[in-house]
Every structure is written in C-alpha cells, then in structure tokens.
Structure 1
Amino acid sequence: DSFFELGGDSISSMQLVSRARRAGLVVTPRQVFEEKTPERLAEVAELAGAQAETDDVGVGEVPWTPVMRAFGEKVAGPDFTQWMTLGVPAGLGLDVLTGGVAALLDTHDMLRARTVPGEPKLVVGEPGSVQAEAAVSRVDATAADSGSLDDIAGRAAREAARGLDPAAGTMLRAVWVDAGPHRTGRVVLIAHHLVVDGVSWRVLVPDLRAACEAVAAGRTPRLDPVGTSFRRWSELLTAQATDESRLAELPDWLTLLGEHRRPLAGRALDPHVDTSRTLRRRSWTVPPEQVETLVGRAPAAFHCGVHEVLLATLAGAVTHWRPDTASGLLLDIEGHGREPIDGTDLLRTVGWFTSAHPVRIEVTGTDLDDAMAGGRAAGTLVKAVKEQVRAVPGDGLGYGLLRHLNPRTAPVLRAAPAAEIGFNYLGRFAAAADAGPETAGPGAGAGGVGAWQLAGPTGAGGTDGSDTPAPHVLEGLAVVRDTPDGPELTVTLSRPRRLLTDTDVERIGGTWVRLLAGLAAHTDDPDAGGHTPSDFHLLDLEQDEVDQFQAIAAKLEGGLSR
C-alpha cells in the first residue's frame, strides 16, 4: 500500500523515518514521498552506521527565527504555551516522572533555553543546568471520579502554565494527576511555545514514555540521539537570509503579493483592538466515512498532499462567500518548517520550527456548486489549488527569511500586502479509546484511556497570549484524529469578533464542509484524479497537455490489458 493512500502526510513521514532509523534503516522524508510503498522504500533504504562526529553544539546563544520575530517580543511572555495530556500507568510515582522529565531536559537543548529581555535571542544552558525536581508536581485525584480527571488535568495545566518563566529558563513543567494505585492517571506536559511546536510533541511524548519506563524498571534512560541542534538550525537560517539564491526570490514574492486591495472584512486588522483575547472559534466535524477518502484516496488520486485537499476546499469556501475576489485570495500557509538545508537532520530536534509563507489562490472560474455536488469541478478545484500552492518561489522558507531576518529586504516586504487568511493543517494524531471506565483493555483505566495515550477531548491545549495581535482576519485549522470508529477530521475557523460576523463564519464553514463532502463523493468516480504539470517538473506542460497524455496512456493500458 502507498504511504499516502493510508493517510500519511509530511509530518507522519518524519515519524516513519525516525522509527526506521531506530530499526537500523536509513531513509529520508523525501524518499518516503517519492517511493511511497514499502517495497520501493526497501530498495533505497540503507543500513544505519555509526553516527558521524560533528561540531554541532546546541548550547549557547540562539538567534530568533522568522516565526519568533513575526510574533515579536510579546511571544516571550509567560502566557504563550502548549501542553499535552496523557494517560499514564496507575501509581506512576513522582520519582519516575521526575526521572523521565530529567531525561527530556538533558536530551533536548531548547527545553533548557531562556530568553534575554530586549534582545531577539535565547540562551541554552548545559545539560543539568535545569533541575527536573523543580519542574514536576503532583495533584491528588485519588478521591475524584473517573469522569472528572480530564477536567482536573486541564485546571492543573493552566495553573502550571502560569508558572513558566522564559527569562528564568523555566520552559517546561510536568504535572502528575494521581488517580490512585488502580486507575490510569494523567500527566500534563506543559512547555513554552518558544521551545516547541506540533512536531516536537511527537518527539517528546514517546521520549517521556521511554524514559519513565526505563526509570520504573531501574534503568538509566538512554534516549535516541538528536541530529541537528536548533541552535545550528537558527544560525543556518540567519546565513540563508542574505544568500544570493534567497535574494533572487524577492521579485517573485513581490509579484505574488501584488497590490493592496479592499479588505476582506471591510477594514484592516488593528493590532491594538484585534488581539488573541478577541478571537472566536467555530468547529465542524467531518464523518469518518468521508475522512477515509479525504486523507487517503483523494491525495493519492490527485498526487497531492492532505494539506492541499484541505486548503483547496477552504479557498473554495471563502471564494463562494466572496465571489468578487477576481485577483484571487492571499493566504498564509503554515508548515512544519523542517525543510532540509545543508544536510540537516531535524527528525528528533525539539524547537519552534514553524514556517509561514503567502500563496495567491484564484478559483473564481470553478463551478463551486458543482464541486459541492460531487461533480468534476471538485477535481478541478484541487488541481488548480495544487498548482498554485506549488508555484511559490523555492521551498517557501525564503519569504520568512527575507521578511524577518534580512534588514535590506524586510522593509520592502513589510510594505507589501499581507495575507488576511491563514491556514494550518496540524496533521494526524492517535486519540484515546472511548471505551468507558476500566474497560479499554490492558493498561487502560479512567475513561477508557490507556497508558501513554492522549487523554481528554483533544489531548492538547495551550494559551496564546491575550494581548498578542491576531495575525489574520480569518484562520482555518484542520486536524485528523484516529478514533475507534475511524479517522475524524475537525476543521476550525477563528476570527477576531469585531471583524467577521457569526453569519459570515457559518456560511464559510458550512461551505467548507460541503466542498469536502463533494470531493469525497467525486473521488469515488473511477475517472477522478490525475496528474498536474507540477508532477513533471522537468517538463514545461500545460494542464490540457497532461490530460491528453493521460488519456493516451489509459487507452494504451486498456489495450494491453485486453
């Protein structure tokens, strides 16, 4: 089976590569994208050798990256956090959790970072410079009923988050919600957003489990080594910002940004009024039977990523609401940011790598009503957006480098139009089983949550700073969670409350969900899918030429099969 037909994406490909490495095999995320199947990956995989010596040291000064500079000094405040809530074995023990957290602190450099007030940098201390004992606490929930554990964990997370102090180097806290010796408890791991991102949690959670299990068994935790340090990565970005190849991208970025146009919501964002405190959110859930297609068969049929499927339908929904966007929509696409530069190995590096770059998407010529009905226009929409997403200069990282790290180009891009819409696909996560108290099998406990599974409605939370300016008029967020009933897709729209109305958001969100349903239905058509010109990067082709070649190939294949 193809990795992507099974619902894989760029983030889960990094997990696959990391697991292969632990098994002694070396493949790269790019090879996963190109080869797709286990058989073909086996042909390019190499046996892992001894780790090469390197002069990469993660300790010392770390210059701010583009995403940090984009948010400004307010991001260094204590109320910009993320956390994960996990089910943990009954009677875990404070000493076991402390030993596990100590292993995290000593392995992952950025967890030992501190901010420098007034300066755009962090400083990372030596291993052992942050004591785990001060970062770990216990909440007694032995008398609480099973159904209230997640609420207790949520309150504990918010309280612990207030105890983070970036300037003092307190970037990580862990709280054990002790449900007693016979019930699965909870651990909430809380980190400042300056030192983690969504991919980082996919490293930290299994590392915490491995470390705690080692301590519980009386062993010294030995976590897998980290490749490129975040410090080295930030230095590379700083150097890249003045590289001639990046400077050559500037005219293309300015062309993409275009001219200033009428605001999407009648007025522009006001950073003093439209803050994180004013954000309002509305979510929709897509049923598993559609999600199986949307994250598996649709990306495989159209030779694209899950994020392009989701972005295409969001762009269609906004265009359906505002059909007068003849010059297209300007959107910021958020990504994991872990692009390969100079042989970097970022699979196990913890830090805030998130990147964002603008794209201009124009789909006003697409019959969106037909797309919602499952017609051919659904495929046309995906193909059109896929090509426009892939037409950005370089790998997309250059925009942030030129906008935030190069003093010559930064004012030029600052004066250009900014995207009013943001989009972020968080990836695919395993969710906790929903089996009821004490009935979810070995290791399960309260609420059917197994040990080391994500717990609660989402398993994740955080705070984003009440006074932080809202970056967009409208933001679309999507996440896939694997549940016992199949994959569940949740799409969320957020906006400052003084801009778009509830009616506006209901219209856009409802159309987004209907376009997703239409695409799922269209993908069931045997003729759905096909290649686009970007699939043949060595050739200069138009879409109609690609369609002609595919038609000829289909006829030849049909003739041979007879």
Structure 2
Amino acid sequence: PGTDLSALRPAVDALVRHHPALRTRFRRTDDGRRQEVLPDVPDGILTHHDVAGLDGPALEAEVRRAADAARDSLDPAAGRVVRVLLFDHGPDLPAQLLFTVHHLVVDGVSWRILLADLETAHRCAADGRPVDLPPATTAYGHWAARLQAHTRSGALDGDLAHWERTAAAPAGLPAGRPGPNTHGTAATVTVELEPETTEALLRRVPEVYRTQVNDVLLSALGRTLARWCGRDTVLVGVEGHGREDLFDDVDLSRTVGWFTAEFPLALTVAPDAGWHDILRSVKEQLRAVPLHGLSHGALRHLLPDSPLTGAPAPQVGFNYHGQWDADGGGSGLYGAALPPAGG
C-alpha cells in the first residue's frame, strides 16, 4: 500500500539508463530509418496519477484515459518509447503500475527482463542502496549487424529451399462474414479455460505425448483451419523468440529488444486424423523448421534480391507467449497483474 514514488522514480531512471533499447530513437534519413541510442534518460517517463476516491466505472475510465494518452505519446522518431504510470489509490490501498513500451524495442523475453529489473531497482532504491542490476548482454545493434553479415556471407543459403517450398503452400482462407475488412471493424475475442482444462493443457497432455504446450495449441488450430478450408495444408504465421545461438561470442539472454522471428509454416494436418497422429505430425513439422524460423526473416529482409521477397503472407497467425504468473505474495513491487488498459 502507498507505493513510495521517491523509490520508484530512481528505479525507473536506472532501468532506462541500464537498457539502451529504452533510450532508442528511429530517425528518418534519406535511405530509411536509422536506429540510434540516446545518451541520456528522456524526461517525463514516470507520471503520478491520483485516483484516490475513484472506484468502479469512474476508476476504469480514468485509467483507460491515462493509458490511451501514454500510448499516444510514444514517438520512436523522438526517442519516446517507454512510459510508466503510477495510479495512486491513497495511503491505505495498493497502487497500480502501468508499464507501456513501444513494440519496436521489446518482445516477450524483454518484458520478463524489464519487470524483474524494475523490481530489483525499486528494492535497492527503497532500501537506500545504489541500484545494482545484472549486466546487460550483447547490444541489439551488434546482433543486427552480425546477423546481416552472416546472412550475406551465404551461411543461411541452405535454408532457402525449405522457405521456397513453404511459400508455395496456399495462403488463402474462405470468406468470412460480409462487410468491410478494416482496422476499425477489428474485434478482440478473449476465451478463458476452466482450471481442469488448463491443467490438462499445461501439464497432462505434454507429459503423455512428450510434447510442448505450443505444439498442442498449434495442432488444435491446424485441425480447425484444415476443416474450415477443406484442405490438408494451411499456411500459418508463427512467432518464435528469435534469440538463436548463432555466434559463440554473442549473449542475448539479458538483451532488451525486438528479436521476434516471424515465419510461415505450411502446416499439414489431416482433418479427420486422431489427436495422437496430429500431435506427433505437428511436433515433427515444427522441429523441421530451420533455426526455429530465424533464417526466414534474415533471408527475406537482409539478403539483396531475395527470392523470398513478395512471397504470400499467412492470413492467420499463432503466437504462444508461455505462462505469466503474478506473484501475489505481497513482498515485492508486484502484487498481481494489472488488467489490460487502453484500446
């Protein structure tokens, strides 16, 4: 209760100073965008919002308003890529913390690094100690330069045949409901599973079939799409973490940045096959993807005159972020997850 702003502010400053990605701007030049790291921590990253006395719809409206304003204030061209909002409910109630970062500089792995480091920094500041964070690893810019040189050296050319075969898979989907297909008509559908089903998905099925959760989810998606499309093969866009061990002298374990590898998967699933056969087949198809998909983006975007340029894009995507468990113990900075705010 009553989160100490005097400890949170130096913690946020130390976090942004420690991770160059949070001080990055994308300056427009004649030959495209150029990524630069600013030497100093930008002003106005942390803001305090007094919501004491608000509850119900009024509180939700104020949090949403502030969250939308923070999101709209992000400007990669100016180096404003992160905002932290503290919603203060008064001295007797826990505060809410909203941490928003532009996707250009973070991915799922980055969030785990940042949230852990912010808690460490806050603990140090609250105890009156200098903030001491674990060292950051290889800089994102260094990794990008190494990957480009590696790709253009021909080291990934052996994967081209796989990706060209994948590009030949049908990408179209049957027409859905009539009406405009625009950003303004998009909708979010959220589904929650009961505890028993969740336990089966996360624990029992992977143990029985010696597979992973994402294999199970992708099998269900593949079977559904195959039945809907009326064919065995569907093109699905899949995301991986992209932090592959290509170089012995590169360590990305604590590097903040957008490393995500997006790649197409020509998923072949017999619509009427049993689950045992489907799971085994999908597992084998995923394991056959070169470098967990990293080479697709490298060969398509970093190779001059790439044969993958212009390949059809999947019309449906799949991304499994893993399990995010909130620590409700009350001894740390985070008591529980803040519900999504803003639209």
Q: TM-score, normalised by structure 1?
A: 0.56
Distance 1:149 1:206 in 2: 27
Distance 1:424 1:253 in 2: 19
Q: Which residue of 2 aligns with 1:474?
A: none
Q: Which residue of 1 aligns with 2:305?
A: 408
Distance 2:63 2:277 in 1: 46
Distance 1:105 1:402 in 2: 32
Distance 2:338 2:281 in 1: 38
Distance 1:387 1:257 in 2: 19
Which digits, 9 at most, give the CA deviation of each residue in 1:291-320, with x for residues without a partner? Answer: 112112222322222111110111111112
Q: From 314, 319, 322, give the equivalent of 1:424.
A: 319
Larger Rg: 1
Q: Which residue of 1 aligns with 2:38?
A: 125
The answer as to whether partners of 2:156 and 2:295 remain within 8 angstroms in 1 is yes
Is 1:335 the counterpart of 2:237 in the alignment? no
Q: From 84, 97, 115, give the equivalent of 2:26.
A: 115
The answer as to whether partners of 2:171 and 2:312 remain within 8 angstroms in 1 is no
Q: Which residue of 1 aligns with 2:89?
A: 179
Distance 1:101 1:336 in 2: 25
Distance 1:365 1:314 in 2: 11
The answer as to whether partners of 2:239 and 2:260 remain within 8 angstroms in 1 is yes
The answer as to whether partners of 1:137 and 1:176 remain within 8 angstroms in 2 is yes
Aligned residue runs from structure 1 range 439-454, under 5 A: 451-454=333-336
CA 1:345 to 1:148, structure 2 compared with 1: closer, same or farther past 3 Å? farther
Aligned residue runs from structure 1 range 455-470, under 5 A: 455-457=337-339, 460=340
The answer as to whether partners of 2:106 and 2:257 remain within 8 angstroms in 1 is yes
The answer as to whether partners of 2:106 and 2:256 remain within 8 angstroms in 1 is yes
Is 1:242 the counterpart of 2:137 in the alignment? no
Distance 2:132 2:327 in 1: 27
Return 5+ residue gaps in structure 1 as ranges.
1-89, 268-272, 368-376, 434-440, 444-449, 464-562
Q: Which residue of 2 aligns with 1:102?
A: 13
Q: Give the drift of 1:453.
A: 3.3
Distance 2:298 2:171 in 1: 27
Distance 2:54 2:288 in 1: 55
Q: Which residue of 2 aligns with 1:142?
A: 52
Distance 2:241 2:124 in 1: 30
The answer as to whether partners of 1:114 and 1:124 remain within 8 angstroms in 2 is yes
Q: From 366, 369, 381, give the equivalent of 2:278.
A: 381
Distance 2:158 2:142 in 1: 24
Q: From 114, 120, 129, give the equivalent of 1:204.
A: 114
Give the letter for the 1:240 counterpart.
H
Q: Which residue of 2 aligns with 1:290?
A: 197
CA 1:226 to 1:364, structure 2 compared with 1: closer, same or farther past 3 Å? same
Q: Which residue of 1 aligns with 2:265?
A: 359
Q: Which residue of 2 aligns with 1:93?
A: 4
The answer as to whether partners of 2:147 and 2:298 remain within 8 angstroms in 1 is yes
Q: Give the drift of 1:432.
A: 7.0
The answer as to whether partners of 2:98 and 2:338 remain within 8 angstroms in 1 is no
Q: Give the drift of 1:98.
A: 1.3
The answer as to whether partners of 1:153 and 1:187 remain within 8 angstroms in 2 is no
CA 1:279 to 1:145, structure 2 compared with 1: closer, same or farther past 3 Å? closer
Which digits, 9 at most, give the CA deviation of each residue in 1:260-289, with x for residues without a partner? Answer: x4831349xxxxx74543322222222111
Which one has a larger percent strand, Structure 1 or Structure 2? 1
Give the letter for the 1:338 counterpart.
R
Q: Which residue of 2 aligns with 1:304?
A: 211
Give the letter for the 1:237 counterpart.
L
The answer as to whether partners of 1:308 and 1:382 remain within 8 angstroms in 2 is yes
Q: Which residue of 2 aligns with 1:538?
A: none
Q: Which residue of 1 aligns with 2:295?
A: 398
Which digits, 9 at most, give the CA deviation of each residue in 1:419-439, with x for residues without a partner? Answer: 222110011111476xxxxxx
Q: How many equivalent residue pairs? A: 337
CA 1:408 to 1:225, structure 2 compared with 1: closer, same or farther past 3 Å? same
Is 1:195 the counterpart of 2:105 in the alignment? yes
Distance 2:175 2:192 in 1: 29
Distance 1:205 1:317 in 2: 36
Q: Give the drift of 1:395.
A: 3.3
Q: Which residue of 2 aligns with 1:320?
A: 227
After TM superposition, the structure 1 stretch with the greater mean CA deviation from structure 2, 144-153 or 420-429, is: 144-153
Q: TM-score, normalised by structure 2?
A: 0.90
Q: Give the drift of 1:462.
A: 6.7
Which digits, 9 at most, give the CA deviation of each residue in 1:450-487, with x for residues without a partner? Answer: 84134344xx4576xxxxxxxxxxxxxxxxxxxxxxxx
**Secondary structure in 1 aligned to 2:290?**
coil
Is 1:347 the counterpart of 2:253 in the alignment? yes
The answer as to whether partners of 1:94 and 1:137 remain within 8 angstroms in 2 is no
**Secondary structure in 2 aligned to 1:356?**
strand
Q: Give the drift of 1:222.
A: 0.6
The answer as to whether partners of 2:174 and 2:228 remain within 8 angstroms in 1 is no
Q: Give the drift of 1:146.
A: 7.5
Q: Give the drift of 1:150.
A: 5.5
Give the letter for the 1:108 counterpart.
H
Q: Give the drift of 1:124.
A: 0.8
Give the letter for the 2:51 counterpart.
A
Alignment RMSD, CA only? 2.4
Return 5+ residue gaps in structure 2 as ranges.
none
CA 1:388 to 1:172, structure 2 compared with 1: closer, same or farther past 3 Å? same
